[in-house]
Amino acid sequence: MAGIHEYNRDIPAIENNYSHVLSGNQTHKGEQQKMAKYAVEMFGMPYSISGKRRVEFELEKDAKLTDIVGALKREVPVLEGEVITPGGNYLMDGFTFNINGRFYTDDRTLSLKESDRIILLALATIG
């Protein structure tokens, strides 16, 4: 029968094999994920609803629009149901992102950079 000391020496090996599960911001094999800081400026109705002109947060590098919307929902919960689809990570009809001068509503493949200028605003119709 093995003594208690023989069992204890195996514990560090188990912890090392699962260290990526125990610590945050790491990939499957324990490699560090690259994080980036993103900022979203809000104008019009999003600003009126939230009372915030700018929201900053950290996400994984090359975040998608759905990641940005999810972070906005987390940081400014009042936007859900008013600007962000309830239970989803998509903008409601009538709202859009302007990213570096181009408009996007639901481009799920667009990868964002830390340097991108991201603006959330309402689409306005006249006439």
pLDDT in tens, 106-118: 788 899 999 999 9
Global pTM reads 0.71
The pLDDT of residue 67 is: 95
Half-sphere exposure of 71 (CA within 13 A, CB side): 19
Domains of the chain: 1-33 (no CATH), 34-122 (3.10.20.30)
Give the pLDDT confidence of 30-60 residue by residue, as tens digits: 556 799 999 999 999 999 999 999 999 999 9
